[in-house]
């Protein structure tokens, strides 16, 4: 996977690479530097393929306690799902209203947090039963989410990663993704 050449996807690739290395038991990743650059390049080897709903437009993915939690997109078809990895069977599901395009998800303190693409609204669900808890607002587009257990990291398609307070979802600061010292805008 070479994220730096994918237009407007460097943040999503970065989040995926972090997930792949840290959480995925089915792939092995290797690190090397891009020639003539200090930019890391990650490669991978597919070890096993699992069944998956071909109609699910995956936007967010978390592997947690032996299950996949998946956020899917497309207006009128967006949902958050708990999926049995070995079979691809959807065990739990909550659908978004038709006017929302679901995006990135993360699990934080026994809750599922979900972004929407252009609606500037995020949703919080109870991890155990998928019951809606509340919503939160942000400006701009919502792309990807991840967490270190204390803070939430949000991508919006720009070179900036927003660092959000894990309890209030208020922005604390931003981290600019750079390639050879310049903000990554591709």
> What digits encode the pLDDT tens for the residues 20-46?
434 444 444 554 545 556 677 889 999
Whether residue 102 lies inside any domain: the answer is: yes
Pick from 134, 72, 132, 140: which is nearest to 102 by CA?
A: 72
How many structural domains compose the chain? 1
Residue 177: Cβ-neighbour burial (10 angstroms; 0-12, 13-18, 19+): middle
Order the strands of the 121-126 sheet from edge to edge: 102-108, 111-116, 121-126, 132-137
Whether residue 36 lies inside any domain: the answer is: no
Q: Which domain holds residue 149?
A: 48-180
pLDDT band at 166 (very low <50, low <70, confident <90, very high): confident
Whether residue 76 lies inside any domain: the answer is: yes
Quote the CA–CA distance of 86 and 73 in Å, as a whole number.
23
Quote the CA–CA distance of 104 and 42 in Å, as a whole number.
21
pLDDT at 69 over 90: yes
* Residue 76, domain CATH: 2.130.10.10
pLDDT band at 167 (very low <50, low <70, confident <90, very high): confident
Whether residue 185 lies inside any domain: the answer is: no
Cβ–Cβ under 8 Å, residues 155 and 117: no
Whether residue 69 lies inside any domain: the answer is: yes
Whether residue 104 lies inside any domain: the answer is: yes
Whether residue 1 lies inside any domain: the answer is: no
pLDDT band at 180 (very low <50, low <70, confident <90, very high): confident
């Amino acid at each position: 996977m070479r994220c730096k050449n994918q237009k407007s996807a460097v943040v999503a690739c970065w989040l995926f690479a972090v997930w792949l290395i840290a959480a995925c038991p089915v792939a092995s990743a290797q690190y090397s530097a891009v020639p003539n650059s200090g930019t890391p390049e990650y490669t991978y080897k597919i070890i096993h393929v699992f069944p998956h709903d071909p109609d699910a437009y995956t936007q967010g993915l978390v592997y947690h306690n032996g299950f996949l939690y998946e956020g899917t997109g497309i207006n009128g078809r967006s949902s958050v799902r708990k999926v049995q990895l070995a079979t691809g069977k959807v065990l739990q599901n909550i659908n978004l209203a038709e006017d929302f395009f679901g995006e990135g998800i993360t699990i934080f303190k026994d809750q599922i947090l979900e972004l929407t693409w252009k609606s500037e609204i995020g949703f919080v669900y109870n991890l155990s039963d998928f019951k809606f808890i509340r919503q939160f607002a942000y400006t701009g587009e919502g792309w990807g989410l991840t967490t270190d257990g204390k803070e939430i990291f949000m991508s919006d398609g720009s070179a900036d990663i927003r660092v959000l307070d894990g309890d209030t979802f208020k922005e604390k600061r931003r981290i600019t993704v750079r390639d050879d010292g310049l903000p990554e805008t591709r």
